[in-house]
A and B are shown apart, each in its own frame.
Chain A
Amino acid sequence: MYEGIVQDLIDELGRLPGVGPKSAQRIAFHLLSADPVDVRRLAQVLVEVKERVRFCSVCGNVAEEETCRICRDPRRDPSVLCVVEESKDVVAIERTREFRGRYHVLGGAISPIEGIGPDELRIRELMTRLADGAVTEVILATDPNLEGEATATYLTRLLKPMGLRVTRLASGLPVGGDLEYADEVTLGRAFEGRRAVDD
């Protein structure tokens, strides 16, 4: 145990995801020996991020204004909507530069163990968004695990009757990988989702 405030700092850092007690201690001592200007800047950013960043009123992505950059961008295709669990999924998909539609961030996946049901997710907002008929295709890009699949199934049942085209991201073999190293579940999915080769 360290004296007072040093221990407080270690405890606070240790609460962050992915930071264990040893890392927390290392970061704390790094900060202690760092230039006060750098530390002040970090503190400033931490305070500002909490004050300035909010969630886009349309899609739920992180934003600095009322709506996010993607929702404001007139060049985005308004007829395709990609539904994801978290803001970081938006960033991942944006990196591909393949998708030109807009997003809807649910804020998680259905998981009764954690007390997350449809009401805890931004599903009502999604339905409101779809009401005007501008969107014709919804891409379900929830995680390919049990909770993500459950959420996708739930949404499919909700959206299909509205006459929308509902698609799910394919899951299967990683690009650049070796078939022989694929695990049996992935390989099984890849078989299920196989497609005809065009001439």
Chain B
Amino acid sequence: MHVVRLSLHDFRSYAEAEVALEPGVTSFVGRNGQGKTNLVEAVDYIARLSSHRVSSDAPLVRHGADQAVVRAAVVRDGREALLEIEINPGRSNRARINRAPLPRAREMLGLVRTVLFSPEDLTLVKGDPSDRRRFLDDLLVLRAPRYAGVRADYDRVLRQRNALLKNARDRGGRRGPDEHFDSTLEVWNQQLATLGAELLTARLVLVDDLGPLVGRAYEAVAQTKNWASRDDANLEYRASFELPETRDRVVVRDALLAELERRKADEVQRGVSLVGPHRDELYLGLGPLPVKGYASHGESWSFALALRLASYDLLRSEGDDPILILDDVFAELDTERRERLAELVAGAEQVLVTAAVAADVPAALRGRRVDVVDGKVAARAD
């Protein structure tokens, strides 16, 4: 798939912008703070309904405006569709496809699929487990949009259950536990286990599928004569409890339920949920060693790139070619990694690149160049 037209209204720094795009490579070049990233962020927002730069929608709306609108004309399977999203911070967003409103904005998820590389990707390797869980869940939603709902429901059940545990802990000292505490907790355990098992098994299957692709992508990116980087890149999903060797949702649910029962005293004492997919970790390894703490800066970057490249390969193997977005990554990479990344992605249906300095973009990805100066977007005729 590819975007042929992007128009923004009160989005980030743009009061109004209209950009024509083509399949193949387009690079947006301009000095920092001119609005390059805002353009690709808008494309990514259409796909994921969230931004890679901020967790809330408010910063996406131009200062002083009360809503932002992103419109993208997208070609999928040879047919053009106009997708629109109205971003209303604090209220629900509204989405339209070919002018027809959708009952819920969430239903637009998955119509456009993007894989975005950004300087923040290094946190996939060096950051907290939560960064890696978000990586898995974001990919899960692109793969099957239904999981956006499962994820939101799980988070809500978790908040309810944590509130219950915290209450029990706080009153435990004074009046003794509430007489209904056990039976109420059981109800939330049931909900947490059902939704948790759904999320967990989906993540397990995802890691099964992604693992070999990451191994291959890492080899392609990191391929050097250096003996130290000959080790295989590997992934392993590490659950917060002993997980049966299965991908069966019912078996996982029962195991999770049993574990919740077993850890109950501990949870009540600490006033927080200690078991479930929100405590799990995606282990990243190079050969026998973990990447975190052992890999060099360059190796860490290669691993981060491999995770994104593998995501791209996975999505492409299951449907339309996703749109690749390379946001300011080349400045972070050494020449060899730049060249190899460029070679690997040059064949994609559509690649959108942003760079402060045109010379940072490898020759293979120069493509069509669009200059972004002071919020003005102009294609260069050369």
The answer on a CB contact under 8 Å between A150 and B104 is no
The answer on a CB contact under 8 Å between B183 and A149 is no
**Residues in A whose Cβ lies below 8 Å from that of B164:** 112, 117
The answer on a CB contact under 8 Å between B187 and A146 is no
A157 in the interface, Cβ–Cβ < 8 Å? yes
The answer on a CB contact under 8 Å between B184 and A110 is yes
The answer on a CB contact under 8 Å between B153 and A113 is no
B146 in the interface, Cβ–Cβ < 8 Å? yes
Q: Which of A111, A115, A146, A158 contacts B191 (CB 8 A)?
A: A146
The answer on a CB contact under 8 Å between B160 and A117 is no
The interface on chain B, measured as residues whose beta carbon lies within 8 A of the other chain's beta carbons, has a size of 24
The interface on chain A, measured as residues whose beta carbon lies within 8 A of the other chain's beta carbons, has a size of 21
A158–B145 Cα distance when bound, in Å, is 36
Interface residues of B in 202-218 (CB under 8 A from A): none
Which of B160, B161, B163 is most buried by chain A, counting CB atoms within 10 A of its CB?
B160
The answer on a CB contact under 8 Å between A113 and B163 is yes
The answer on a CB contact under 8 Å between A112 and B146 is no
**Residues in B whose Cβ lies below 8 Å from that of A181:** 103
**Residues in A whose Cβ lies below 8 Å from that of B153:** 146
Chain B nearest CB, measured from A164 CB (Å):
17
Chain A nearest CB, measured from B111 CB (Å):
14
Which of B149, B164, B178, B187 is most buried by chain A, counting CB atoms within 10 A of its CB?
B187
B63 in the interface, Cβ–Cβ < 8 Å? no
B190 in the interface, Cβ–Cβ < 8 Å? yes
The answer on a CB contact under 8 Å between A157 and B183 is yes
Q: Which of B160, B186, B190 contacts A111 (CB 8 A)?
A: B160
Closest B residue, CB atoms, query A185: B149
A59–B156 Cα distance when bound, in Å, is 30
**Residues in A whose Cβ lies below 8 Å from that of B191:** 146, 149-150, 153
The answer on a CB contact under 8 Å between B159 and A119 is no
Closest A residue, CB atoms, query B185: A112
The answer on a CB contact under 8 Å between B187 and A110 is yes
B283 in the interface, Cβ–Cβ < 8 Å? no
B180 in the interface, Cβ–Cβ < 8 Å? yes
Q: Which of B103, B146, B180 contacts A117 (CB 8 A)?
A: B180
A154–B187 Cα distance when bound, in Å, is 6
B336 in the interface, Cβ–Cβ < 8 Å? no
A25–B68 Cα distance when bound, in Å, is 26
A-B contact pairs, 8 of them (CB 8 A): A110-B184, A112-B161, A112-B164, A117-B180, A153-B187, A153-B191, A154-B183, A185-B146
Known: A110-B184, A117-B167. 6 other contacts (CB 8 A): A111-B160, A112-B160, A112-B163, A146-B160, A146-B191, A149-B191
B contact set with A: CB distance below 8 Å = 103-104, 107, 145-146, 149, 153, 156-157, 159-161, 163-164, 167, 178, 180, 183-184, 186-188, 190-191
